[in-house]
Amino acid sequence: MNFKISKREFLDAISLSSRAISSNTPLPSLSGIKISVDDNGITLISSDSNISIKKTIVKSEDSALIIDESGEIVLDAKLLLEIVRKIDSEFIDVETIDGTLIKISGGNSEFKINGMLPEEYPSINFDYTSNNPFKLETALFNQIINETAFACSDKEIKPVLTGVNLKAKDHKIYANATDSYRLASKTINIDTDLNFDITVPAKYLNEIYHAIANEDEVTIAIDKQKISFVFNDTIVDTRLLDDEYPDVSRLIPSNFTQKLVVSSKEMINAIDRTLFIKSDGKNTIKLNINNEKIELTSSNQNFISSFEEIKVISFEGSPLEISCSGKYLQDAIKAVDADEITISFSGELKPMVVKKEDDDSLIQLISPVRTYK
């Protein structure tokens, strides 16, 4: 194996491939990136058995790729990334010296690294063409992730809740994420009439979010076990969660007794000033609301307390006192991303709904917390 390539192109490809590398891998070879070189270009494959990435670099003006000899090797991803990053040169030379010993050089720097045999790397099927691929604007996909994935559970007690449920029907995609205490629900309109119901682990969706940030659109293909994302000579496969996702639509109240309209910025800043006040590791805030103001208080057993007063833009209904997680409410307001937000209530012990006025495409639901005076 012997090739020369633009450092920028090679570093970008390695950085992308490293997103599929886990520090706790079941197979030693999966700590590495499999590099395959032939006359057509270079292919990098990486995987942790849950997410797999195939990146192809073809000969072009940008890649400045020159291939002198074909070959394959598996190189430790972390070492490879550090070596290429450190080399102070516009171009990188990669050459097999003997067996699995690889020389990586550029400018005045030269590194030698021992690789692994390509036969030790598991075979991964990246075929997606038979799974009815469709295209989606990257901006829409990233909007779904931004507005829902944060609400997934970070605990494996109910594995299906660690993912975002994506359901398509009637020219719409419905995205839902919940950890049982909050819910983020997003609906987008699409031109294609699709039909699927899958749950994708949130941590892998976040990796894809970063990987496709500079793309205009992404091709998506789905089968029973995985979802594939195809863009810019790259294929990213992630496994799906098997369990049936709960029916979260029944959690959203249909009737409300109070409705609050308030400045998003003022609420976010007020909550932010209380986040350090925690009881049993949680930040709980109490909202005392009437048609003039919100009194926001927080305290803990160490006698640390805070008080904030915020003017309301409008409030309908009888005065209300309700408690909830400060972080959950702040996350919900940030996700809605509007100058003013509407918070609707059905009572002090029923979930509150945060959204933009007259816009039901994004709903953030938060369960209240019972507090004792």
Domain containing residue 331: CATH number: 3.70.10.10
pLDDT digits (tens, 9 = 90+) for 311-355: 999 999 999 999 999 999 999 999 999 999 999 999 889 999 999
Q: Tokens 């409030």 — which residue?
A: 315
Buried b (16+ CB within 10 A) or exposed e, 70-101: ebbbbbbbebbbebbeebeeebbbbbbeeeee
Specify the pLDDT at position 228: 96
279 and 344 in a single domain? The answer is: yes
CA 109 to chain centre: 36
Specify the pLDDT at position 60: 93
Domain that holds residue 65: 2-120
302 and 238 in a single domain? The answer is: no
pLDDT digits (tens, 9 = 90+) for 251-294: 999 899 999 999 999 999 999 999 998 888 889 999 999 999 99
Q: What's the token pair of residue 183?
A: 């819910």
Q: Residue 308: CA atoms inside 13 Å, Cβ hemisphere, count? A: 22
214 and 293 in a single domain? The answer is: no
Give Dmax (Cα) for the chain.
Answer: 80
Domain containing residue 84: CATH number: 3.10.150.10
When computed from its CA atoms, the radius of gyration of the chain, rounded to whole angstroms, is 25
Q: Are 199 and 241 in contact (CB under 8 A)?
A: yes
Specify the pLDDT at position 303: 83
Domain boundary among 90, 120, 150: 120
127 is a domain residue: no
Domain boundary among 248, 263, 289: 248
Domain boundary among 226, 248, 270: 248
β-bridge pairing 226-231 and 217-222: antiparallel
187 and 89 in a single domain? The answer is: no
Would you write out the chain's pLDDT as a tens digit for each of its 373 residues? 999 999 999 999 999 999 999 888 778 899 999 999 999 999 999 999 999 999 999 999 999 999 999 999 999 999 999 999 999 999 999 999 999 999 999 999 999 999 999 999 999 999 999 889 999 999 999 999 999 999 999 988 899 999 999 999 999 999 999 999 999 999 999 988 899 999 999 999 999 998 898 899 999 999 989 999 999 999 999 999 999 999 998 899 989 999 999 999 999 999 999 999 888 888 999 999 999 999 999 988 888 899 999 999 999 999 999 999 999 999 999 999 999 999 999 988 999 999 999 899 999 999 999 875 5
Total-model pTM: 0.91
230 and 270 in a single domain? The answer is: no
237 and 268 in a single domain? The answer is: no
146 and 239 in a single domain? The answer is: yes
125 is a domain residue: no
240 and 318 in a single domain? The answer is: no
38 and 55 in a single domain? The answer is: yes
8 and 113 in a single domain? The answer is: yes
Q: Tokens 């430790």 — which residue?
A: 76
For 240-319, where are the E strands, in sequence order?
Answer: 258-263, 284-289, 293-299, 305-311, 314-316
Specify the pLDDT at position 372: 59
For 93-156, the DSSP string reads EEEEEETTEEEEEETTEEEEEE-B-GGGSPP-----TTS--EEEEHHHHHHHHHHHGGGS-SSS
Specify the pLDDT at position 373: 52
225 and 177 in a single domain? The answer is: yes
Residues 254/255/260/261 CA torsion (nearest 10 deg): 50
Specify the pLDDT at position 337: 93
371 is a domain residue: no
84 is a domain residue: yes
308 is a domain residue: yes
Angle at 23 between CA 331 and CA 90, to 5 degrees: 90
210 is a domain residue: yes
Instruction: State the total domains in the chain.
Output: 3
214 and 183 in a single domain? The answer is: yes
